[in-house]
Amino acid sequence: MKRRLYFILPDTRLARTVHNELLLARVPENRMHVIAEGRVDLEGLPEASLWQRSDLSHGLQLGLPVGGLTGVVVGVLAILFGWIAPGYEAKTIMATVLAGLFVGTWASSMIAVNVPNTRHQTFESDLRQGHILFIVDIPVQRVDEITELVTRHHPEADMRGVEPNIPVFP
């Protein structure tokens, strides 16, 4: 099991130092993610992907069931109103469910990709001030070790919490 740690760092110099220390502590670089406002230079740091920056994961989780349910409703209505020839009811339901799943997932992902990650709302004011959000995904047994490593060496690093549920596609 993994946990996601959140740190607010005041500048890129400290972010690079923490990044290097975590690499020395054998935290894989693909488990570190950095988010900052557009004007902050993050060169040499592992920038967060679209999955971490946007609300894409949440959008897909919402669009899939809503689209599927809409497909079922449309299929049933088409059958009830007689728009479907007898004998094609099951195929109609299957087709409308698949179409609903596709359209619901597509539409929700197009919207969610432009929405900032709702899990990061508590960090918005810090990001506007030019600070850096440093995210680390680590095994649960290393939470205390990594937290102590960062906060002991860098008291200016602000530990902002541990997220117990990491999305499937971080």
Residue by residue, DSSP assigns 11-69 as SHHHHHHHHHHHHHTT--GGGEEEE--TTS--TTS-B--HHHHBSHHHHHHHHHHHHHH
Tell me the per-residue pLDDT of 72-116, one tens digit each, with 9 for 90 and over: 999 999 999 988 888 888 999 999 999 999 999 999 999 998 888
Q: Are residues 20 and 104 in the same domain?
A: no
pLDDT confidence of 165, banded at 50, 70, 90?
A: low
Using the predicted structure, report yes or no on whether residue 170 has a pLDDT greater than 80. Answer: no
The 3-state DSSP class for residue 113 equals coil
- For residue 50, how far is the Cα from the chain centroid? 8
Rounded to whole angstroms, the Cα distance separating 107 from 71 reads: 14
Which of 69, 92, 112 is at the close of a domain? 112
Tell me the per-residue pLDDT of 27-72, one tens digit each, with 9 for 90 and over: 999 999 999 887 778 888 898 888 888 888 888 889 999 999 999 9
Q: Are residues 107 and 127 in the same domain?
A: no
Q: Residue 11: which domain range?
A: 2-54+116-163
Is the entire prediction scored with pTM above 0.85?
no
Q: Are residues 7 and 49 in the same domain?
A: yes
Q: Are residues 44 and 124 in the same domain?
A: yes
pLDDT confidence of 122, banded at 50, 70, 90?
A: confident
The 3-state DSSP class for residue 139 equals strand
pLDDT at 38: 77
Residues whose CB is less than 8 angstroms from the CB of residue 46 and which lie 6 or more positions away in sequence, other chains included: 19, 29, 30, 32, 33, 34
Structural domain count, the chain? 2
Q: Are residues 41 and 66 in the same domain?
A: no
CATH number for the domain spanning 44: value is 3.30.70
